[in-house]
């Protein structure tokens, strides 16, 4: 089921399957990637209850082994519509018999989209409905068309604010796991887009407490700014060597497994924990120029 949010500036379409945004229109310009399966058959998936890939697609918890695909299962599940109007929609996913086979926690997970002038606020809210401490990750994966209006992929740049030294963690492309032993500090302020930028998969960095990343060009006024607070990691990605006409700006509360992990979920690098009956929330904003 699709829900449309609309004001005088933007029209935003969100699908109940995966609680995923499918479109961000400003006038006649589509800003969100349209899931061409020749490159990548998604738009802006919600990542839960993990972010990234697990080593060997599995983890251990309380002596048991569980299987789970990259980025978790929320993106491939139908969410319940809680409420909607022209400015805001809220979707809900709760634990099921099927989810418990892969993730042994009972939870309520809310995803909301709220339209305000030229901005879309995306909020994730999680409640631990179980009697034990929950281990989880949650994150965003929106893909934006490049070019937005005119020019080529190489005419665009990503500007990162604040411009400061942050930790870069390389990925192992065949497995999608992190090479934590090779992490380095890098001064990061701007990336001119080119295909070779992504030749070793996504660029993964630690976030500042407050972050802003803008996708812009010098040809026209079309652009996107993604901003967030207290989401400790982010990824930048475009498929390589496919020359796909989009780039993803991904704020995360969670991250892929380290290649040297022992597989234990409770001590996984970047994992979050939530006590019984406790709640967690994080959000990010997309501003359309």
227 near 253, Cβ under 8 Å? no
Among residues 217, 242, 224, 193, which one has the least CA distance to residue 31? 224
* CATH number assigned to the domain covering 2-288: 2.70.98.10
Give dist(CA 47, CA 202) in Å, integer.
Answer: 15
Give dist(CA 271, CA 286) in Å, integer.
Answer: 25
Pairing of strands 279-288, 224-229: antiparallel
Domain extents in the chain: 2-288
In order along its 289 residues, the chain shows pLDDT tens digits of 999 999 999 999 999 999 999 999 999 999 999 999 999 999 999 999 999 999 999 999 999 999 999 999 999 999 999 999 999 999 999 999 999 999 999 999 999 999 999 999 999 999 999 999 999 999 999 999 999 988 999 999 999 999 999 999 999 999 999 999 999 999 999 999 999 999 999 999 999 999 999 999 988 888 999 999 999 999 999 999 999 999 999 999 999 999 999 999 999 999 999 999 999 999 999 999 9
């Amino acid at each position: 089921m699709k829900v449309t949010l609309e004001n005088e500036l933007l029209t935003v379409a969100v699908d109940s399957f995966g609680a995923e945004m499918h479109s961000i229109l400003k006038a006649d310009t589509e800003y969100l990637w349209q899931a061409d399966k020749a490159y990548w058959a998604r738009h802006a998936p919600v990542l839960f209850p993990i972010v990234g890939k697990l080593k060997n697609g599995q983890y251990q918890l309380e002596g048991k082994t569980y299987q789970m695909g990259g980025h978790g299962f929320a993106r491939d599940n139908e969410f319940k519509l809680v409420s909607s109007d022209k400015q805001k929609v809220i979707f809900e996913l709760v634990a099921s018999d099927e989810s418990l086979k892969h993730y042994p926690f009972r939870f309520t997970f809310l995803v909301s989209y709220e339209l305000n002038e030229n901005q879309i606020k995306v909020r994730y809210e999680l409640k631990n409905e179980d009697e034990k401490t929950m281990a989880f990750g949650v994150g965003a994966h929106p893909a934006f068309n490049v070019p937005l209006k005119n020019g080529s992929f190489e005419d665009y740049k990503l500007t990162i604010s604040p411009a400061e030294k942050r930790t870069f963690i390389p990925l192992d492309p065949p497995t999608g796991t992190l090479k934590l032993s090779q992490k380095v500090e890098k001064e990061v302020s701007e990336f001119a887009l080119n295909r070779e930028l992504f030749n070793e998969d996504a660029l993964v960095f630690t976030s500042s407490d407050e972050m802003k990343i803008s996708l812009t060009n010098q040809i026209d006024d079309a652009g996107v700014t993604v901003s967030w607070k207290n989401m400790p990691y982010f990824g930048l990605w475009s498929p390589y060597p496919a020359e796909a006409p989009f780039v993803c700006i991904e704020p995360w509360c969670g991250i892929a497994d380290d290649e040297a992990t022992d597989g234990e979920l409770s001590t996984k690098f970047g994992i979050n924990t939530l006590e019984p009956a406790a709640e967690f929330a994080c959000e990010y904003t997309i501003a359309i120029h």
